[in-house]
Structure formats: structure tokens, C-alpha cells
Amino acid sequence: MTGEERVAAGPARTPVPQPAAGPVLADTADLALAPREGPRRGVWRQAASDFARNPVGVIGVATIVVMLLFSFVGPLFYHTDQVHPNLLEITQPPGARHPLGTDNVGYDVLGRLMVAGQSSLEVGLAAAVIAGLVGTFWGAVAGFAGGWVDSVMMRFVDALLAIPSLLLVLLLAAIVTPSILMVIMVLGAISWLTTARLVRGEVLVLRSLDYVRAAEGFGETPRQIVFRHIVRNVIGTVAVQVTFEVANAILLFSALSFLGLGPPPPAANWGGMLTDGLNYVFDGYWWLIYPAGLLIVMTVVAFNLAGDALRDVFEVRLRSR
């Protein structure tokens, strides 16, 4: 893949150059789209073992698992009150009672990081899956329909891509009442654009291939062809892109919350925790500034690493054909 293609393939907000993955199957994400019949099992197992051989990808996936355990299982063992402020214990430094100190209304920071992680991860994963589904559908229809339908649909994508994503998110967040569900919807509504572009590009190639022509010859309807042949073959590309979109959505969500337009307290998320920490930059309260930011960076890096490794799996398998 050349640098030119990479630049042309994706907008600036995607973390890494775009994949040219082909007819392959993903071993993570988008299980709803996965084919069900038996013989493909071998392909899946092969993909999984290819992936396991890539140390960078394994580190990424391991970090994601650790983050999920920390956020969802952690609170089962480490009980803290993350709803009622405790003004007697505000901005305590880390100590025996509070391993990572307390924040400006007395919430235990370690416990809050766990609860905040839940919403940050939920938003990232859900928004990316929605974006994957919408983008696949949009791109497949546009690429398959061709002609003016394709032009109009893709100009629509261009138009939304021309608006900075944070601008769109702020605009939509100012309209709706911020709740986790609404944030997921808003982020999902703007994150599908790159997926749509990639899927359309692949569909344009796929529809000229012999077996799709043959299916047309056998009298399959366009809808059958899209769902049986096209969607299945672009799952690899989509899975890679969805993994990157999780990272993007987590970043956007944290920016949105940092700017004060996320879900209001006592709901917690990593970006929002940093807003509170900002007031204490000059007081040296490091426990309000470093932990939440580090968790965001680690999670985003982990999803980007996993996405890179996933793409390598697909490219290796393409080459071996």
C-alpha cells in the first residue's frame, strides 16, 4: 500500500493509515455480522492463531482485558460510594484509606476511576459498533447502487466529514440532554463516515468479481447479493475500522466531558474527572491529573495496537493466497 493511497483512503481523524484488507473474517467485533456455517471455523481459528503470534496485538488485547476487568469487576471487590459527596474528606492525598486520594467533593479516586471506566468503555464500544453497522450498510448500498445514488450518498459523507467531529459532537450535545445513551447515539451518528467510505471502495471492487457476477446471473436480488456476498467480504475491513473507532470514540467522549457537555455528576467518566483536576493544577494534586489521563491514553493505545495487529492478520492472509 502506498502512502498516497493511505492518505486518500481516510480522513485525518482516523488514527492510522487505512487498511486494504480483503475477503477475510474477523475474530473480534461485529459478531452479529459473522457467518454461521461450520466449514468457516477453520478460517476463524487460523485468524486467531495469526493474531496470537503478533506480540503487539496481544499486548493491546491484554490491556483492553485488564481495563475491562478493572472497570467492571474492580468495583465488586473495592467498594466505594460514588454517589454521595463527602465534604469532610475532600482532596485527600493518597494514603491508607484512599490509595489514590479523593477528589474535590470527597469521592475516592480509585473507585471513581473504575466507575468512570465503565461509562468510557461502554460509550466507546457501543458507539463504534453502531458506527460499524451504519457505515457498512451505507457504504455497501452506495457502492452497489452506483450512479447518482452513490454520488449523493458519498457527497453526504463528504459533507459530514468536512465538519470537525468535535464541532458536530458539541452541536448535537447542546441539543440533546446528555446521558450515556444519548452520547452513544451522538458519537455513533458521526463515527460511521470512514467505515462507509472504506466499505464502498471495497464493494466497487467486489461487484466486478466473477462470483458476484455469477450470483447476479443466477438471479439473486441485489439485496441478497449485498447481504450474502458483499457484507461478508468486507467484515475484515470493518472489524479493523471499528477497533480504531472505539479509540476515537473514547477520545471524543473524554473531550466532550472535559468541555462540560458530558453526562452530569454523579455520573463519572475519565474525561470529566480531568476537568475537576484542572482546578488544582497549581496545588500539586497530581492524583487528580495523572491517573485518569493515563487510563485514557493506555486504553486508546491498546485499541489502536489491536486494530493494527488485526489489519496485519488480514494482510498476511491476503498475501498467502
Partner 1 sequence: MTRYLVRRIGQAIAVLFIVSMVVFAILHFLPGSPARAMLGIRATPAAIRQFNAANGYNRPLPVQYLLYLDRLAHGNLGFSYHYDQSVGSLLTLDLPKSALLVGASYVLSLIIAIPMGIVQALRRNSSLDHALTGFSFVGYAMPTFWLGILLLVGFSATLHLFPPEGPQGASVMAALGDPAGLVLPVATLTIVTVAQFSRFMRSSAIDVLLQDYIRTARAKGASRWQMVTHHVLRNSLLPIITLVGLSLPGVLSGAIVVEALFNYPGMGWLFWTAAGAHDFPVLMGFTIVVAAATVVGNLLADVAYAVADPRIRYQAS
| Concatenated DSSP letters of 65-105 | HHHHIIIIIHHHHS----SS--GGGTTPPS-SS-TT-B-TT
Query: Which amino acid makes up residue 115?
Result: V
Choose one: 97-105, 138-146, 151-159, 227-235; the region binding partner 1 (CB under 8 A): 151-159
Is residue 135 near partner 1 by the rule CB under 8 A? no
Residue labelled with grid coordinates 439473486 = 220
Buried-exposed string 34-44: b where 16+ CB fall within 10 A, e elsewhere: eeeeeeeeeee
Q: How many residues sit close enough to partner 1 to count as binding (CB under 8 A)?
A: 57
Is residue 318 near partner 1 by the rule CB under 8 A? no
Q: Residue 228 and residue 232: Cα distance in Å, rounded? A: 6
Q: Out of 65, 66, 69, 163, which residue is the one contacting partner 1 (CB under 8 A)?
A: 163
Query: Which amino acid makes up residue 300?
Result: V
Partnered with residue 61 across adjacent β-strands are: none
DSSP class of residue 78 equals S
Q: Out of 141, 231, 240, 274, which residue is the one contacting partner 1 (CB under 8 A)?
A: 274
Please, which residue, 160 or 267, has the CB nearer to partner 1? Answer: 160
Is residue 100 near partner 1 by the rule CB under 8 A? no
Work out how close the CB of 213 gets to partner 1 at its nearest, in angstroms, rounded to a whole number.
26
* Pair 131, 254: CB distance under 8 Å: no
Work out how close the CB of 30 gets to partner 1 at its nearest, in angstroms, rounded to a whole number.
23
Residues that bind partner 1 (CB under 8 A): 2-4, 6-8, 11-13, 15-17, 151, 155-156, 158-168, 170-176, 247, 251, 254-255, 258-261, 271, 274, 277-278, 281-282, 284, 286, 289, 293, 296-297, 300-301, 304-305
